[in-house]
Amino acid sequence: MEKVTIEGVELTLANPVEWPAEWVGRPDLLLQVIAAWMKVTEEDLPLHPRLLGKPGVGKTTLAYAAAKTLNREVYLFQATMDTRPEDLIVTPVIAEQGKLRYVASPVVTAMIRGGVCILDEGNRMSEKSWASLAPLLDNRRYVESLVAGITIKASPEFRLCATMNDDASTFDLPEYIHSRLQPQILIEFPERDEEALILRRNLPYADESILEYVVNFLQRAHESQERYTVRDGINVARYAIKLLQISNGKSPDEPLGAQEALIRAVTSILGEDATFYL
């Protein structure tokens, strides 16, 4: 693990994340995120976009794809209701022979390395945790670690993006943070063609009839304002394919048909009420 020394304190840095994510939704959303991170002059400052939408619509994937478009390292911090200020900045841990070691969070590592930090599900954090990031999100661009007793300045190349779900199990965002996390970019359910493309990209081995069945299911659900997302559709299709394979290969019973496998998959993953949209 890489280590750096700041104001005489050695910090162990986090590792960047890598996963095969590809944004196949609306290209204008990708451009909006990249535009927010731009600097038009040396005196200009990047913005910190906030991606809003229902769980599973691709907010994290969009932020990751935008960062990779700019060829940046990506660091992911998963916010929770238990996130503490020290979790966001520097955490002390006991190392060999009882010595204290300081570990930089993904946020701070991105600051130091000039990478992109995705603060995932940010509105699950309390105001106390958000307050520790306030200087980072304005023109000061630093954080203070009370635990390590140091001030950490962000690289000019550092960028941040927060994703936020629109569900009820969240804190209200403090107004002074609300104004620092701009612009707001809303990610809605994809159109039929986009949804079909996302499913094909994620499940290239799936039979076309199964994908079409799942797209129809999702589109009907969207029209009724249900919260089922393309992530749910991918899980349904994936499970249905597994059910079909094990039934046709090993089951002593009558092999399942595709429609029956999909009904079972929807019931198991989303509940019996979801079968209304099949």
Output the pLDDT for position 172: 82
pLDDT (tens digit, 9 = 90+) per residue, 64-82? Answer: 999 999 999 999 999 999 9
pLDDT (tens digit, 9 = 90+) per residue, 120-133? Answer: 999 899 999 999 99
Is pTM beyond 0.75? Reply is yes
| pLDDT confidence tier of residue 256, bands split at 50, 70 and 90 | confident
Which pair of structure tokens corresponds to residue 220? Answer: 């009907």
Instruction: Give the integer Cα–Cα distance in Å for 101 and 36.
Output: 36
Average pLDDT, the chain: 92
Decide if pLDDT at 251 tops 80: no
> Within 13 A of 123's CA, how many CA atoms are on the CB side?
21
Decide if pLDDT at 50 tops 60: yes
Secondary structure string (H, E, C) spanning 166-209: CCCCCCCCCHHHHCCCCCEEECCCCCHHHHHHHHHHHCCCCCHH
Output the pLDDT for position 108: 98
More confident residue, 166 or 50: 50
Say if residues 270 and 243 touch (Cβ distance below 8 Å). Answer: no
pLDDT (tens digit, 9 = 90+) per residue, 194-238? Answer: 999 999 999 999 999 999 999 999 999 999 989 899 999 999 999
Instruction: Give the integer Cα–Cα distance in Å for 277 and 274.
Output: 6
Say if residues 243 and 225 touch (Cβ distance below 8 Å). Answer: no
Output the pLDDT for position 249: 60
Output the pLDDT for position 71: 95
pLDDT (tens digit, 9 = 90+) per residue, 155-190? Answer: 999 999 999 987 765 678 889 999 999 999 999 998
Decide if pLDDT at 149 tops 90: yes
| pLDDT confidence tier of residue 40, bands split at 50, 70 and 90 | very high
Query: In Å, what is the CA distance from 167 to each residue of 8, 118, 123, 207?
Result: 43, 19, 10, 33
